[in-house]
Amino acid sequence: MSRPQKQKQITFSSSWWQRLTASILLGSFLYTSLAISTKAQQNNSQAVSLPIKNQADYTYTDPATNNKYQGTSSQLSVTPNPLFDPLGRILGCAGTVLPDYTGFSVGVYEPLPSDPTGTELGSLVALTRTELPDIPNNNVPGGKSPNIENSNPYFITNNPAGVYNFLLDPNKGQTAPGKTYIFVVNPPPTSIYKQRRIKIQILDSTGTQGNNIIRYIASSLDGQPINITGETRVEQTVVLVPNAEVVGLDLLAFEFTTNMCQANQLQIIKTGDRATAEPGDTVIYRLSLKNLADAGLNNLVVTDNLPLGFQFLPKSVRGETSGTAVAITSQRNGNTVIFQTDMTIPPGEVLNIAYAAQLTSDALRGNGRNSAIANAQRADNRFSTKDGPATHQLKIRPGIVSDCGTIIGRVFVDKNFDGEQQRDEPGIPNAVVFLEDGNRITTDPNGLFSLANVLPGYHTGVLDLSSVPGYALAPNQKFRERNSQSRLVHLEPGGLVRINFGVTPTFQEPVKK
């Protein structure tokens, strides 16, 4: 296709003509049709649509009958739609143009060779240098606007539409099947957006010059979508088409959108009105949900998991934003409470949800820790966003309701080896007994010890013989299972159990009859 607006003759030397015909354009964009631009389109004027009329006369001879046939074909009359060059664009999360591109840059990198995952950045791809096609030059091919010089990286600060492009050179093997690149978008340091990385893998290419077909996969490396429909992995098949502005140049357009979405679009914070509580107390929790996105968030769902023994009070639920009450619905399923609202949270606004829970006696069996997760959707493109879990830790005191028990015991000199302490069998002071949970207990001057507020269940006590030098474990002639350095006991709720350890001097006295 020629450019009727071109006023001066462009001459090209054969030394770089073959290199130029093999270059391709790397980009990400919203246009779904491959196309050719005119000078009027580049000047933002209306594209020219010319009617196409074509008719042909034909004559041929049938070899079997030697009969001659002739005629005129039907007329083709078509007014095509205007075509546009496919260019990459940096767009917002909803596919809209950003208000300011100051400080934005894009680049194409080789993967780091030493990285087996192929996701870390290596060196910048060495692109073939280009320049203005109107400048006669026998050594440097003409470039493609806006990245006329085929710079890598390319700064789009002065481009209000966020457009960019790169030319890859097949003569350097840059379009060979199996080639992998990492396309990077770098926002300015003060931007609300984070760096974006998209991995591009060229699968194969077929066809002849002027009719090449390229198949590739684009995969998001940061988990963010790469087009306005929300996919993070796109496989495309595109056709190389000639560029009208630079004769002989083939364009390869990667048809995915480089959407810039904030990494954190929703924030949830969970707080409580106290740090400690006991059975019978009522705790008030607050969930604060802040919209960090550049669009409204709706379809909000908060899933809150209460600890064991916390009774949710449905009538206590309240919602508000900026001092205005908001209707909140709640649904309980076991220890899980789900909050929902029809409200759309504007950008920068905070929705507060408050509710109460009452502690039962079962709370002593739980850990007092609850967590909440928030899910929402952007109002503009329906992308999902989430945050959490946000947690709150409450220390549970037993109060007047407690089923904890007490462990008591003694370490004594067992002279008759019956496992029980008689009047003439003294206690051993400063002896150490360890419990299975790591508790270390030391006996008093009379060899006695005790431990209160012990949870019901099985417990094990072990005598540390190194804490009673000169003594060894006394044999028990009454109960064979007590001839061990450890004791296993079962503590009932609110109960009392005893753990005794009999010891004997290393040089034993005769057993009394």
Tell me the average confidence (pLDDT) per consecutive run of 10 residues in the chain, 513 residues long: 39 37 40 28 37 59 72 52 52 79 89 86 86 63 75 83 78 82 88 84 62 72 72 64 40 52 84 90 95 90 94 95 94 93 93 95 87 91 85 84 82 88 90 91 93 89 92 84 85 89 78 54
**Half-sphere exposure of residue 208, counting CA atoms within 13 Å on the CB side?**
0
CATH 2.60.40.10 fits 405-505, yes or no: yes
Name the residue among 452, 465, 439 with its Cα closest to residue 491: 452
What's the pLDDT at 78? 44
Laid out side by side, the sheet with 496-505 consists of 448-454, 405-413, 496-505, 471-473
What's the pLDDT at 135? 61
What pTM value is reported for the model?
A: 0.49
What's the pLDDT at 369? 92
Secondary structure letter of residue 465 according to DSSP? G
Does 405-505 match 266-396 at the fold level? yes
What's the pLDDT at 131? 75
Contacts 24+ apart (CB under 8 A), 145-152: 145/42, 145/245, 146/87, 151/127, 152/107, 152/108, 152/124, 152/125, 152/126, 152/127
What's the pLDDT at 344? 94
Tokens of 394: 């409450």
Q: How far apart are CA 441 and CA 432, in angstroms?
A: 6
**Beta strands per DSSP E along 156-226:** 163-164, 166-168, 180-186, 196-206, 213-220
Pick the CATH number of 266-396 from 2.60.40.740, 3.10.129.10, 3.40.50.720, 2.120.10.10: 2.60.40.740
- In Å, what is the CA distance from 93 to each residue of 205, 258, 263, 377, 440? 31, 9, 11, 12, 59
Q: How far apart are CA 421 and CA 153, in angstroms?
A: 87
What percent of the chain is helix, strand and coil (3-state, nearest 5)? 5, 45, 50
- Domain ranges within the chain, ordered by starting residue: 14-71+80-260, 266-396, 405-505
Laid out side by side, the sheet with 266-272 consists of 266-272, 282-291, 350-359, 310-321, 324-325
Q: How far apart are CA 329 and CA 350, in angstroms?
A: 18
